[in-house]
C-alpha cells in the first residue's frame, strides 16, 4: 500500500494536535521507552484498528531518533511507566527525540487505519510519502533551528513497526519536503479560510460579531489585511507574534515562559496532597481539568485558582509590552491555545478593557477551536500555494 499524506503538525508542550490526511488526531504529547510488548496473548489485530491512536505501541528505526520500542500518547500516559515529555521552558524542540518519535508514530497509525479501511484487512506493510508543515515556538524559531528540525524528517527513511497486539505492520515513511514555521503564524490561515479554501464563516466568530455589533455578513476576509497581535497560550509558553495580512513581522518576536502548565506545576503538589497521591504527572492534572465530570475536578480547580491568576497577570503585562513596542498600531488581539480555555474567566475581562482603552478589537477564540488553531492553520498552509512554491524551489536540481 502506498499513500501520500498532507500533515499539519502542532507539537505542543502538553498536547499533540495533528491533522493527518484531513483527520484531526489529538493526543497527550508524551511517550515512554519500553523493553517488551504489553500484550502476550493473541488478540485479533483488527480489534486494535478503531482506537489505534489511543493504544499506540511502536518500534522506531529512524536516523532522526533513538531506536527502540515506545508507548505513545494516551497509552503511555496511562501505563504507569516513566514518561518522557517536553520540559517547560527548558527543552529546545528541534533537538529532542520526543516530537520526532510521536510524529512518526501517529502518521504510521493513520496509515495502518487507512490501509485497513480500504482493503478491509490488516496490511503487512504500508509506505507513506508525507508533505508536512510544523512549527517551533517564535522564541526558538531561527533559520538555523528550523533547518535543523526540517532535516530530522527529510534526511532518510523512517521505519515504524506498529504493534497490533502481537501482529506487526511495517510502515515506511519518507518526507520529500517539510516546512517549519514560527508557532502562532499559521493561525492567520485558519482565521481567513476553511478547509475547502473558502472564506471562513460560522460559530468561531459568533461571539466576536455580537461583541462588536457587526450587522453585515461576516467572514474570514475581514482578517486579510489586519495587523493582529496573537496571544497563543500553551502549557509552557505564550507566544505574542504580530502578523500583518499573511506576513509574520520578525521585528516583534516575543514569547514568555508563562502558561497553564506553570500554574498546574504550582498547583500539583497541593492537588496530589488533596487526592492522597505521592505523585502524578502534569498531563494527568490537565486531563482532570478538561473533564467537569471527573471526581477530582473541583479539587483541581480549587488548587489552580491562585497560580492561574498569577500567570494571567504576567501574560497581560507581556501583551502591554508588545502593544507599546508596536505603538498600539494593532487592529485586533487574537487569543487562543489550550491555556486560553483555562484562563478565560480571568483573562477575557482584562483584555477586553485593554482593547477598549487602546481602540482595538478582541477575538477570544471559543474553546471548541482554541486548541486546534495552529494545527488547522498548518494543514491549510501545507495544502496551499506558498508551500507548493517553497517545495518546488527546494527540490529543483541546482
Quick one: pLDDT at residue 247? 86
Domain count, the chain: 2
Residue 199 shares a structural domain with residue 172: no
- In a domain? residue 393: no
What's the pLDDT at 289? Answer: 86
Summarised one tens digit per residue, pLDDT across range 62-98 is 999 999 999 999 999 999 898 988 776 667 889 999 9
Nearest-Å Rg of the Cα atoms of the chain is 21
Q: Is the pLDDT of residue 139 over 90?
A: no
The pLDDT assigned to 385 comes to 87
Q: What strands lie across the sheet with 15-20, from one edge to the other? A: 23-28, 15-20, 2-11, 125-136, 167-182, 158-164, 56-61, 68-72, 31-34
Residue 389 scores a pLDDT above 90: yes
Residue 383 lies in a domain: no
Q: Are residues 116 and 202 in the same domain?
A: no
Ranking 115-124, 246-255, 311-320 by mean pLDDT, the lowest is 246-255
Domain that holds residue 332: 187-375
Q: Indicate the residue among 182, 214, 242 that finishes a domain.
A: 182
In a domain, 391, yes or no: no
Q: Is residue 339 part of a domain?
A: yes
Position 137 scores a pLDDT of 85
Structure pTM?
0.89
pLDDT in the model for residue 160: 98
Mean pLDDT, to the nearest integer, of 374-393?
Answer: 92
CATH code, 14: 3.30.420.40
Judge if 220 and 174 occupy the same domain: no
264 & 338 share domain: yes
The predicted model gives 28-37 an average pLDDT of: 94
Amino acid at each position: 500500500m502506498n499513500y501520500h499524506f498532507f500533515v499539519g503538525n502542532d507539537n505542543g508542550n502538553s498536547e499533540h494536535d495533528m491533522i493527518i490526511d484531513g483527520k484531526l488526531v489529538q493526543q497527550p504529547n508524551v511517550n515512554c521507552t519500553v523493553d517488551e510488548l504489553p500484550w502476550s496473548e493473541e488478540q485479533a489485530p483488527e480489534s486494535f484498528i478503531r482506537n489505534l491512536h489511543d493504544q499506540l505501541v511502536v518500534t522506531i528505526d529512524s536516523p532522526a531518533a533513538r531506536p527502540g520500542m515506545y508507548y505513545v500518547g494516551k497509552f503511555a500516559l496511562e501505563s504507569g511507566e516513566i514518561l518522557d515529555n517536553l520540559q517547560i521552558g527548558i527543552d529546545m524542540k528541534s533537538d529532542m527525540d520526543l516530537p520526532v518519535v510521536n510524529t512518526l508514530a501517529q502518521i504510521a497509525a493513520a496509515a495502518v487505519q487507512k490501509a485497513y479501511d480500504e482493503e478491509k484487512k490488516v496490511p503487512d506493510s504500508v509506505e507513506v510519502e508525507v508533505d508536512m508543515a510544523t512549527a517551533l515556538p517564535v522564541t526558538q524559531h531561527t533559520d538555523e533551528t528550523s533547518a535543523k528540525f526540517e532535516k530530522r524528517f527529510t534526511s532518510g527513511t523512517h521505519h515504524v513497526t506498529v504493534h497490533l497486539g502481537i501482529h506487526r505492520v511495517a510502515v515506511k515513511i519518507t518526507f520529500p519536503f517539510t516546512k517549519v514555521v514560527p508557532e502562532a503564524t499559521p493561525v492567520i490561515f485558519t482565521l481567513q479560510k476553511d478547509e475547502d479554501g473558502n472564506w471562513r464563516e460560522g460559530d468561531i466568530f459568533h461571539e466576536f460579531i455580537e461583541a462588536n455589533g457587526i450587522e453585515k455578513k461576516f467572514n474570514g476576509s475581514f482578517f486579510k489585511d489586519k495587523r493582529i497581535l496573537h496571544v497563543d497560550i500553551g502549557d509552557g509558553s505564550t507566544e505574542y507574534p504580530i502578523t500583518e495580512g499573511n506576513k509574520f513581522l520578525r521585528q516583534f518576536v516575543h514569547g514568555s515562559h508563562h502558561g497553564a502548565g506553570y500554574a498546574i506545576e504550582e498547583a500539583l503538589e497541593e492537588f496530589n496532597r488533596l487526592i492522597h497521591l505521592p505523585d502524578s504527572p502534569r498531563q494527568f492534572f490537565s486531563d482532570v481539568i478538561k473533564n467537569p465530570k471527573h471526581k477530582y475536578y473541583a479539587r483541581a480547580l480549587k488548587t489552580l485558582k491562585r497560580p492561574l491568576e498569577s500567570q494571567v497577570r504576567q501574560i497581560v503585562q507581556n501583551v502591554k509590552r508588545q502593544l507599546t513596542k508596536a505603538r498600539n498600531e494593532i487592529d485586533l488581539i487574537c487569543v487562543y491555545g489550550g491555556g486560553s480555555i483555562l484562563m478565560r474567566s480571568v483573562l477575557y475581562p482584562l483584555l477586553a478593557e485593554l482593547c477598549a482603552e487602546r481602540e482595538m478589537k478582541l477575538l477570544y477564540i471559543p474553546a471548541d477551536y482554541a486548541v486546534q488553531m495552529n494545527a488547522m492553520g498548518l494543514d491549510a498552509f501545507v495544502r496551499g500555494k506558498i508551500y507548493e512554491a517553497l517545495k518546488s524551489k527546494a527540490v529543483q536540481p541546482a
